Structure 1
Amino acid sequence: MDTASKQLINRVTQQLKPASGDSKTPAGNDPAGAITSPQATVEQKEAINQIFELFRFNYHNQFLKAFPDYDTLIMAKRLWSRLLMDYSGEVIMKAAEKAVKESSFLPNVHEVVARCDIAEVLGLPDVHAAYIEACRAPSPKKEFNWSHPAVYYAGRASDWYFLANSPEQKAFPVFQRNYQILLQRIQAGETLELEIAKALPQESETPLDKQQQKQRLAELRKGLAEGL
């Protein structure tokens, strides 16, 4: 990606902020200023343990060769926990299951990371499908029947005009970054909803029949005559 594209991504994605905890202490530092490492959640640790049991069952000999003793196994689990910390336990398990289905060899952590699809687990369109939806949605954008609000907000943050008038190789990375930020926020428990525009009040009036029309016309004429 060229420098101009990187600058564009940085500029546009300032409209979105990744999910963050409630703590006011900067990430990576404790209140005393000491450097600390982020910790995996209980859910993530349980998922890692389940993954290794899944691998032990499906790749028994390969597993024992890769992790011959307890210390090696613990070190591997710690590494996996760090590299998979951006994903929920559910996403991690889905990725591991896909890796098992698709490979006859013991998967490594990078192969599992590559299969971590937050959108799939959350029931959202994958990033490219979402990009195509955002590019093709007619105006007014808010009134379009979006597959999910995240697609709309990613498109809005990426700039509708930019998406419509830029080649995919330039526009897609911008949209992808914004969409991934939103997926992370949803995975963290945030709810996204579109603001529904208030409908204009509809005034319905029953048409007058001919006799009533004549009477109304006569009243209007009388009023005009009296005003002369």
Structure 2
Amino acid sequence: MARTPASTQLLNRVTQQLKQASSDSKTPAGETLAHEPSIEQKEAINQIFELFRFNYHNQFLKAFPDLDTMIMAKRLWARLLGEYSGDVMMRAAERAVKESSFLPSVHEVLARCDVADSLGLPSVHAAFMEACRAPSPKKEFNWSHPAVYFAGRASDWFFLANNVEEKTFPVFKRNYEILLRRLQNGESIEMEVAKALPEHSETPLPRKEQQQRLQELKKQLS
């Protein structure tokens, strides 16, 4: 039976992803992945594939016509989604099913992985706005979650208050996502977040501005 153009395109897309995954892999034959997926992650990937099989039956069978293709695909998913818990993976897959009438790719699921949502925390931007708008003293503010406070502290309150969002949001986003991963892994979020290395050397602040900054930080009692 001849394939329709749509089914051929779908199969070609999946095949290309699997070939890319194979060529990108640096794991010698017979060795395991550097970060072996947990049992929870493996179970989540299996459940996701069953979810897709049920919702996209014909597309699914055309994309994964045999066991070898299925195994390769699951290995690809395990590697690309390896930093997320099984719960985050499942929520992302379910969201993809609700939003698409076509079989989602691993990249489409990856784009929907939201650790904050799975943990019941504010989204990155909502947390950012909360941190920027919170009055001083920061410790006494009724935070939606301690992670928002610690992300703001790690980002530097003075920096957040005195620079444009285009500059401050990426810094906050990095710190917040680090803390989200700690929460996801059951780790403490009260440990200091290491500063990102600057992309270029910066000119030291004038002495007057340094003093102003110090006074501001004292007021905030963070």
Match of 2:123 in 1: 126
For residues 32 and 129 of structure 2, what CA distance do their matches in structure 1 show?
A: 42
May I ask how many residue pairs the two structures share in their alignment? Answer: 162
Q: Does 2:156 correspond to 1:190?
A: no
Q: Deviations along 1:15-52, whole A, 9 cap, x unmatched? A: xxxxxxxxxxxxx9xxxxx9962100000000000000
Partner residue of 1:171 out of 168, 171, 177: 168
Provide the alpha-carbon RMSD of the alignment. Answer: 1.8
- What amino acid maps onto 2:88 in structure 1? V
SS in 2 for 1:37: coil
TM-score scaled by length of structure 1? 0.69
Runs of 4 or more consecutive aligned structure 1 residues displaced over 4 Å after TM superposition: none
SS in 2 for 1:43: helix
Gaps of 5+ in 1: 1-27, 29-33, 194-228
For residues 37 and 161 of structure 1, what CA distance do their matches in structure 2 show?
A: 40
For residues 37 and 187 of structure 1, what CA distance do their matches in structure 2 show?
A: 20
- What amino acid maps onto 2:148 in structure 1? V
Question: Higher relative contact order by CA 8 Å / sep ≥ 6: 1 or 2?
Answer: 1
- What amino acid maps onto 1:159 in structure 2? D
- What amino acid maps onto 1:175 in structure 2? F
Contact 2:44 / 2:89 at 8 angstroms: preserved in 1?
Answer: yes
For residues 171 and 192 of structure 1, what CA distance do their matches in structure 2 show?
A: 21
- What amino acid maps onto 1:110 in structure 2? H
The structural deviation recorded for 1:191 is: 4.5
TM-score scaled by length of structure 2? 0.70
Match of 2:134 in 1: 137
Contact 2:182 / 2:189 at 8 angstroms: preserved in 1?
Answer: no
Match of 2:177 in 1: 180
Match of 2:17 in 1: none
For residues 93 and 114 of structure 2, what CA distance do their matches in structure 1 show?
A: 11
The equivalences for 1:38-49 within 5 A come to 38-49=35-46
Summarize the Cα distance change of 1:35–1:120 in structure 2 as closer, same or farther, 3 Å threshold.
closer
Q: Deviations along 1:58-88, whole A, 9 cap, x unmatched? A: 0011001110100000000000000001000
The equivalences for 1:65-214 within 5 A come to 65-192=62-189
Gaps of 5+ in 2: 1-25, 191-222
For residues 46 and 147 of structure 1, what CA distance do their matches in structure 2 show?
A: 32
